[in-house]
Amino acid sequence: MKAFKLENEPKIETGFKTPENYFENFSVSLLEKLPQNEPKTISLFARNRKTFIAAAAVLVIALTVPIVNKYVTKSKELDEATLETYLSYQSNLIQYDLIHELDTNDIKNLDKNIALGDDTIEDLLSSNANIEHLILE
């Protein structure tokens, strides 16, 4: 094989050449090619006024609904099921604490609501095997 030396071989020309004074006159020629009149600008608000108003209304409603929902007054009264569930899951609460908190009006209201006849009480006592426990309470 023959020895290959880069310095001795003829060089190949690239084929790309820049015209004379290209970089000196580049900015002037570029400015000549640009259009002289400036384009007309259209405002976003003027073009789609109805669309902008509708989008603003939706945005206001979307931001207002959670705030209004948070501050709407809810009913302060408890229903019976919620109160009964709360009291049943309180482990440190016994019936004597509840009885101690009742006043005479509450006891009268309880008497009106509970309508037990003698037959109902007799059936309850006869069907319950733990009568002594009920009598002591």
Q: 46-90 pLDDT, tens per residue?
A: 667 788 888 899 999 999 988 888 787 676 777 788 888 887 787
Left if phi > 0, otherwise alpha if psi is -120 to 50, otherwise beta: which for 5? beta
Q: 8-43 pLDDT, tens per residue?
A: 766 777 778 888 888 888 888 888 888 777 777 777
**What's the confidence (pLDDT) of residue 91?**
66
Which pTM does this prediction carry?
A: 0.26
- Our measurement of the distance from residue 111's CA atom to the centroid of its chain's CA atoms, rounded to an integer in Å, reads 48
Q: 99-137 pLDDT, tens per residue?
A: 888 888 888 887 776 777 788 888 877 887 777 776 776
- Our measurement of the distance from residue 86's CA atom to the centroid of its chain's CA atoms, rounded to an integer in Å, reads 28
Has residue 45 got a pLDDT over 70? no
Listed residue (124, 122, 102, 101) closest to 111, CA to CA: 102
